[in-house]
């Protein structure tokens, strides 16, 4: 399914797929951090870049921005929602960098539910302090561009030790769309975990994932040997409004995955 590029240096190694600019494997210090879904990786959106919104759209299907509404098709029938934006299903152009891999995607704005031409440039760079994941958005259109984005990596684990335990989460309605901020008392890993949690830092054992915003999405099937810890910039939620890129301008988001302090 598309192209795969492998990169290796003295700090570790990783693999990126052209479909979704997906981070499929990551070794740091000889240790593999990500769960291997084999040839099923795309069905799980493993490691995919999610743009112009991550996870499940907060409203379900409607992107409201600057007085207009953009109605997205439903691709998550269970929750009657749009899921993961556009990019997990798009082919990126891959290129080797001196310290990693670059993935580029040009969008002409042809979809009526997202009429915002842009260029997305993803860079994965591996250095002593870990893997840096960066995303640059160039607005190629004449209108302001709304977006959020994030990554969808699944980390290997049999017994999650996620710290610090968040104090709050976003309550879900009957179809699992996020709503008000409510207190959170702890994870029950014997049941499915899927939601947006308020976390200033995210540590899975000795693996540190740098948040992109006040909320981090966490997903794990009950008793699964993996957990998705998803750095996201926001949800298009009333408390986390759309980021805006003006015509001819750019925005960039950066997160890291580290082992140890």
Comparing 81 with 232, the larger pLDDT belongs to 232
Domain locations in the chain as residue ranges: 4-259
The average confidence (pLDDT) of the chain is: 94
Rounded to whole angstroms, the Cα distance separating 33 from 259 reads: 9
Task: Give residue 127's Cα distance to chain centre.
Answer: 21
Mean pLDDT of 19-34: 96
Task: Give residue 250's Cα distance to chain centre.
Answer: 19
Output the pLDDT for position 106: 98
- Return the percentage of the chain with pLDDT > 90, whole number: 82
Q: What is the pLDDT of residues 75-115, one digit of tens each?
A: 989 888 899 999 999 999 999 999 999 999 999 999 999 99
Rounded to whole angstroms, the Cα distance separating 143 from 3 reads: 33
Output the pLDDT for position 136: 98
The CA dihedral of 159, 172, 240, 35, to the nearest 10 degrees, is 30
- Residue 219 contacts residue 35 (beta carbons within 8 Å): no
Domain 4-259: which CATH class?
Answer: mainly beta
- Residue 145 contacts residue 245 (beta carbons within 8 Å): yes
Peptide bond into 224 cis (omega under 30): no
Indicate if the pLDDT at residue 175 is higher than 80.
no
Residue 239: pLDDT band (50, 70, 90) is confident
Q: What is the pLDDT of residues 109-138, one digit of tens each?
A: 999 999 999 999 999 999 988 999 999 999
């Amino acid at each position: 399914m598309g192209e795969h590029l492998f990169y290796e240096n003295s700090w570790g190694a990783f693999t990126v797929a052209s479909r979704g600019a997906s981070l499929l494997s990551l070794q740091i210090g000889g240790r593999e951090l990500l769960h291997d879904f084999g040839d099923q990786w795309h069905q799980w959106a493993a490691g995919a870049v999610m743009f112009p919104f991550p996870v499940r759209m907060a409203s379900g299907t409607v992107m409201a921005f600057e007085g207009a509404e953009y109605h997205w098709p439903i691709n998550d029938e269970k929750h009657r929602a749009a899921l993961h934006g556009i990019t997990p299903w798009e082919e990126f152009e891959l290129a080797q960098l001196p310290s990693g891999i670059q993935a580029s995607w040009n969008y002409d704005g042809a979809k009526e539910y997202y009429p915002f031409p842009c260029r997305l440039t993803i860079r994965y760079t591996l250095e002593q302090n870990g893997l840096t994941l960066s995303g640059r958005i160039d607005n190629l259109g004449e209108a302001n561009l709304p977006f959020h984005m994030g990554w969808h990596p699944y980390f290997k684990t049999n017994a999650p030790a996620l710290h610090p335990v968040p104090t709050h989460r976003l309550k879900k309605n009957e179809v699992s769309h996020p709503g008000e901020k409510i207190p959170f008392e702890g994870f029950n890993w014997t049941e499915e975990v899927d939601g947006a949690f308020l976390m200033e830092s995210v540590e899975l054992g000795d693996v540190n994932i740098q948040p992109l915003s006040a909320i981090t999405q966490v997903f794990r099937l009950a008793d699964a040997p993996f957990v998705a810890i998803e750095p996201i910039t926001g949800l298009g939620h009333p408390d986390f409004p759309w980021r805006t890129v003006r015509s001819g301008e750019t925005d960039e988001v950066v997160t890291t995955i580290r082992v140890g302090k």
